Amino acid sequence: MYIEQGYKGLSEAWRYVLGVLLVFLGWQIIGAFPLIIALLIKSDSLSTVLTDDLGVMSGILGSNAFLFFMLLTFAIGIICLFGYLRFVHKQQIKHLTTSRKKIDWKRIGFSFSIWALVSSLFIAIDIYLSPDDYQWNFELVPFLILAIIAVIMIPIQTSMEEYYIRGYMMQGLGIMTKNRWFPLLFTSLLFGLMHIFNPEVAKMGYGILIFYIGTGFFLGILTLMDEGLELALGFHAANNLTAALLVTADWTAFQTHSVYKDVSQPVLGWDILIPVFVIFPILLFIFGKKYGWKNWKERLFGRVLTKEEFAALNESESDMA
């Protein structure tokens, strides 16, 4: 009943359509003001400030300061989203998060822990097998500053993406289409395509979108099967946090004072298929066993109840209680 949680607020289609637009504008335009102002203060050239080259902007501000201002756009975005949810939809954040009586923080922690462990292990194995591809990049003070920024701000960044795409859009599209497969398909493709302007895509080609779209489907399946965002929130935070702290490169979105720097020439290879077609299915199996998932077909492709059906169901459950 995760999608149907949208009925616990005002759920007319126009509210969702307007909300997607206004929150996006607040996130991308208002959220960018602090970064633009910081760049203007540090740079003498307006053309330099208006560049879309992350490396140039990072060079102007310094990698830690640039990371902070870049992540601040997501903090402003999530404030816009929660504000719109509260005042236009009259919906609680809890109902955008989960169908459970309260947010399950243990689910978030478990998902975070398992993916932080797995992704760190993969990085360690790759460094061991290809030591020439990595350069020791650790500097204590810059790393400690990075760690503070990352631990505070990256979960906000990943939560904004989850709440906006797999939360708000998933519920809105499900309520409008009255099915589950279209929200899953649409939000997964959108999540992947949102990364199309990442420097990794420019460097390695559009084939890497297989990974981003595949990750979108994985997180969407987590959300629908578990009837809540908790597992997706934990996974996404762990993924970006380990990437920011452990390994950086000149051609990635996160250029940080991490422990290692990847100095290899990036090549699009079969290795991007392993997470999507091997690791993610294994994780789905683990999560499914742990949380007792059943009725996969119904949860992923079944219909969404109407508002009247959902109200009647809640009423009958209240009577039984």
Greatest Cα pair distance in the chain? 69
Question: Dihedral through CA 227, CA 151, CA 194, CA 266, nearest 10?
Answer: -120
Predicted confidence band of residue 251 (pLDDT cuts 50, 70, 90): confident
Predicted confidence (pLDDT) at residue 277 exceeds the cutoff of 90: yes
Residue entry with tokens 């992540």: 71
- Look at residue 18 in the predicted model and tell me its pLDDT: 98
Report how far Cα 137 is from the mean position of its chain's Cα atoms. Answer: 27
How confident is the model at residue 50, as a pLDDT?
63
Task: Please work out, in degrees rounded to the nearest 5, the angle formed at the alpha carbon of residue 262 by the alpha carbons of 261 and 263.
Answer: 105
pLDDT score of 108: 98
Q: Is residue 162 within 8 Å of residue 219, measured between CB atoms?
A: yes
**CB burial of residue 255 (10 Å; 0-12, 13-18, 19+):** buried
As a whole number of angstroms, the distance between CA 316 and CA 109 comes to 33
- Mean pLDDT computed over 242-260: 88
Model confidence pLDDT, tens digit, residues 23-79 = 999 999 999 999 988 888 887 666 666 666 676 777 788 889 999 999 999 999 999
Say how far apart CA 1 and CA 100 lie, in whole Å: 9
pLDDT of residue 62: 87
The per-residue pLDDT for 270 is 78
Which two tokens mark 177? 């289409």
Per-residue pLDDT, 45:
64
Question: Which pLDDT belongs to residue 203?
Answer: 84
- What are 116-165's pLDDT values in tens digits? 999 999 999 999 999 999 999 999 999 999 999 999 999 999 999 999 99
The confidence score (pLDDT) of residue 317 equals 67
- pLDDT for 109 equals 98
Residue 61's pLDDT is: 85
Q: pLDDT at position 42, please?
A: 83
Q: Which of 198, 170, 168 is nearest to 81 (CA)?
A: 168
pLDDT of residue 179: 96
Mean pLDDT of 103-108: 97
**pLDDT confidence of residue 301:** 96
Spatial separation of the C-alpha atoms in residues 186 and 182, rounded to whole Å: 6
The more confidently predicted of residues 315 and 120 is 120
What is the per-residue pLDDT across 163-220, written as a single tens digit (0 to 9) for each?
999 999 999 999 999 999 999 999 999 999 998 888 888 888 888 999 999 999 999 9
Closest by CA position to 266, among listed 133, 135, 136: 133
Residue labelled with tokens 């020791």: 136
Helix, strand, coil % in the chain, rounded to nearest 5: 75, 5, 20
The pLDDT tens digits for 11-22 are 999 999 999 999
Beta bridge partner(s), residue 136: 260
* Domain coordinates in residue numbering, the chain: 3-320
Alpha carbon distance 65, 71 (integer Å)? 10
